[in-house]
């Protein structure tokens, strides 16, 4: 399988590329080619030049480059253009969205039938992008991800959050009332590869069956053998879990020593 990947140098992209290589597939990085990413000429040139079987769209607007309306152009217009071009070229399109399409006021856990309600910021951009992708390419696969967990701090993953808070505050405050959507990067990458051969549609990827943020943070602290101070709170009450009966990830307990309470 030839897999074209946007954001291949990002947190998920690097692990996905390694997993593809390990399975005998070829990951191919999407490049700018001197034009704006959402330029239709760039998109068409990428597909014509690489001839992929599947395009994994992982990239988001991360660093500002001064481009006008950059967030919307990168997070909304670009995936819509990719979806449309893939439809014309007969290339499988897999778009990674986020649990943040649901606002903090929504009542989880969320199924694929739950209605997204994010009304501003990144969550709204991703919610809008999902709609645009569906309209442009009914055969697209949209997959919502939760917070990613890496092997060590670095990049956009949960361990980096802990490290940053320890350096800033000397403590990580973790709510017992928050059940975050989250999964280990390796499990996310394996599921994304599997999706390339599954029916198109909407999927949720989440390894959190019933554990709260304090339990997860404490277990990760022990696993990483790092001197983080984890302080329990109850100041954030939210069930963010993403449920899906069509594709299940290994539970967090497969990698962490977690209580079995449901």
pTM for this predicted structure: 0.94
Taking alpha carbons only, the member of 88, 92, 71, 85 closest to residue 42 is 85
Bond prior to 56 in cis (omega within 30° of 0): no
Distance CA 253, CA 7 (A): 29
Instruction: Give CA angle at 194 (4, 257), nearest 5°.
Output: 115
Distance CA 226, CA 150 (A): 14
pLDDT of residue 36: 66
Residue range 2-147+181-205, CATH number = 3.40.50.720
pLDDT of residue 46: 87
Paired strand residues for 204: 144
Neighbour-count burial of 34, counting CB atoms closer than 10 A to its CB (0-12 exposed, 13-18 middle, 19+ buried) = exposed
Q: Which residues of 233-258 are buried (b: 16+ CB within 10 A; e: fewer)?
A: eeeeebbbbbbbeeeebebbbebbeb
Taking alpha carbons only, the member of 140, 151, 147 closest to residue 198 is 140
pLDDT of residue 35: 65
Within this chain, domains 2-147+181-205 and 151-179+210-239+250-254 share the same CATH topology: no
What is the number of other CB atoms lying within 10 angstroms of the CB of residue 72? 16
Phi, psi of 21 (to 5 degrees): -60, -40
Q: Which residues of 172-206 are buried (b: 16+ CB within 10 A; e: fewer)?
A: bbbbeebbbbbbbbbbbbbbbbebbeeeeebbbbb
For the chain, domain boundaries: 2-147+181-205, 151-179+210-239+250-254
Residue range 151-179+210-239+250-254, CATH number = 3.90.25.10
What string of pLDDT tens digits covers the 262 residues of the chain?
A: 999 999 999 999 999 999 999 999 999 999 876 666 667 778 888 899 899 999 999 998 766 666 667 778 889 999 999 999 999 999 999 999 999 999 999 999 999 999 999 999 999 999 999 999 999 999 999 999 999 999 877 778 899 999 999 999 999 999 999 999 999 999 999 999 999 999 999 999 999 999 999 999 999 998 877 788 999 999 999 999 999 999 999 999 999 999 876 5
Taking alpha carbons only, the member of 196, 167, 182 closest to residue 1 is 196
pLDDT of residue 72: 84
- Do residues 59 and 95 touch, judged by C-beta distance below 8 A? no
């Amino acid at each position: 399988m030839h897999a074209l990947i946007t954001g291949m140098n990002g947190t998920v992209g690097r692990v996905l590329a390694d997993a593809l290589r390990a399975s005998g597939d070829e990951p191919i990085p999407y490049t700018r080619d001197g034009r704006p990413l959402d330029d239709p000429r760039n998109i068409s040139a990428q597909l014509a030049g690489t001839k992929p079987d599947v395009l994994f769209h992982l990239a988001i607007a991360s660093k500002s480059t001064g481009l006008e309306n950059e967030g919307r152009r990168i997070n909304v217009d670009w995936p819509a253009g990719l979806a449309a071009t893939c439809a014309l070229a007969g290339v499988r399109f897999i778009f990674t969205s986020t649990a943040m399409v649901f606002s903090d006021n929504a009542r989880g856990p969320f199924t694929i039938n739950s209605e997204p309600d994010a009304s501003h910021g990144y969550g709204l951009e991703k919610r809008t992008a999902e709609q645009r992708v569906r309209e442009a390419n009914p055969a697209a696969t949209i997959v919502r991800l939760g917070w990613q967990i890496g092997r060590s701090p670095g990049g956009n993953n949960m361990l980096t959050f802990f490290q940053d808070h320890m350096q800033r505050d000397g403590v990580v405050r973790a709510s017992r009332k928050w059940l975050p959507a989250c999964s280990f990067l390796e499990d996310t990458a394996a599921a994304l590869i599997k999706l390339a051969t599954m029916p198109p549609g909407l999927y949720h990827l989440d390894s959190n069956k019933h554990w709260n943020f304090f339990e997860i943070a404490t277990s990760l602290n022990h696993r990483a053998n790092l001197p983080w101070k984890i302080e329990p709170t109850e100041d954030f009450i939210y069930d963010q879990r993403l449920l899906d009966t069509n594709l299940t990830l290994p539970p967090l307990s497969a990698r962490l020593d977690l209580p079995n309470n449901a």
